[in-house]
Amino acid sequence: MDLMSLQGLSLVEGMNKDFEKLSAEERLARLFEIVPEEEVLVTSSFGIHSATLLHHLSRIKPGIKVYFINTRFHFPETLEYKAQLSTMFGLNVVEVAPSEDLKDLCVSSQMWTTTPNVCCYLNKVAPLEPLKKCYKVWISGLMGFQNRVRNNWKVFRPDPSVEGLLKFHPFIDWSEAKYENYRNHNALPPHPLELEGYGSVGCIHCTKKAQGRAGRWNSKFKTECGLHVGFLSKS
C-alpha cells in the first residue's frame, strides 16, 4: 500500500486498526517499509520523554534527520540533554529556529506573558511550517498519558494544518508504567530537570516544577504549544 492511498479518512482508520495490533517498534519498522525515509519528518523537543523515540529510531533508522526547534528560550539543561542523547544515539540533529529579530521582539514585549499563544506560534509553530510541507508523515513521540487531549489520539491522524500530512504516534497507547519500564530496561538517561522535580520541560519562561504537564504555561489554561493539535488561535 502506498502513502497516497492512506490519505482518505476511512483508509487512515483501517491503518489504525492494523497498526494498533503492533508494538511501537513494529509500528516504526512497518512505517519505513511503506514510506520512504525522505518522506518522513522526525522532530524532538529533547524533553522529559524524548529519549524513547530517539532510542527506537537509532536502532530502526539510524542517521535519519531529527529536527529540533531551537526557540532560543530553552533551559541550558535541555541543550545539554540534546548533546548527550545526540552522542549516545549517534543522532543527525538539524536545528530550526526563528530569527534573532523575532527573539528580540519577544523579549522586549515579554510576549510569553502577554500573549503566550502568539509566542508559541512565532517561535515553535511557524518555523516548522515550511518543513511540514516537504513530508508525508510526521513521527511524534507523544504518549496518551501525558494529558487528556493526547489520550484521545490514535496511531495515525491527519494533520489539518497541511493537506496530505499524517501524524504518526507509535507510543500513543503506552501507559506511564510501560514508559518507565522501557526507560529503565534500556538505561535511558533522564532529562537533568526531571531530577529536580520537573514533569515536563518547554521554554524557560513558561515552565515550572510540577507533576506531569501541570507546570507548563504557568496555569494560563493552555496545555499545548500548537505543534501537535493542528490549530492554534494566535491570541
pLDDT at position 150: 58
CA distance linking residue 187 with residue 113, whole number of Å: 38
- The position carrying cell 526557540 is 71
CATH number of 3-219, picked from 3.40.50.620, 3.40.50.300, 3.30.43.10, 3.40.140.10:
3.40.50.620
pTM (2 decimals)? 0.86
Neighbours of 184 (CB within 10 A): 9
Q: What is the pLDDT of residues 117-126, one digit of tens each?
A: 888 889 888 8
User: Whole-number mean pLDDT of the chain?
Assistant: 85
pLDDT band with cut points at 50, 70 and 90 for residue 133: very high
Grid cell in block for residue 145: 498519558
Domain range annotation of the chain: 3-219
DSSP 8-state assignment for residue 195: G
Query: How confident is the model over 188-194, as a mean pLDDT?
Result: 96
pLDDT confidence band for 102 (50 / 70 / 90): confident
Question: How many Å apart are CA 149 and CA 154, to the nearest integer?
Answer: 11
Q: Active site includes 225?
A: yes
Give first-to-last CA distance, the chain, whole Å: 41
Contact 153, 169 (CB under 8 A): yes
